[in-house]
Structure 1
Amino acid sequence: MLALGTGLRQGEILALRWSDINFEENELKVQRTFKRVQLINRDNSKNKTELIVQEPKTKNSKRTIPIPSAIATELKRHKIRQAEEKLKAGDIYVDNDLIFPNAIGEPTDAKNITRSYKRGLKRDDISTTANVYTHVLLRQKIKAVDRLNDLFAL
Structure 2
Amino acid sequence: MLNRSRVPSGLRSVQLVPEQEDAATLQLGEDFSSEKAQPLTISEVAILLSRKRDMMRDLEGPRAEEFSSVFKKFLEYVERFDRYKGLESATNVRNLLQRYESLDPFEMACLANLCPADAEEAKTTIPSLKHKIDDSSLNQLLQDLASFTH
- Whether these two folds match at TM > 0.5 is no
Asked which structure has the greater RCO (Cα within 8 Å, sep 6+), the reply is 2
TM-score band w.r.t. shorter chain? under 0.3
Whose radius of gyration is greater, 1 or 2?
1
> Normalising by structure 1, what TM-score?
0.21
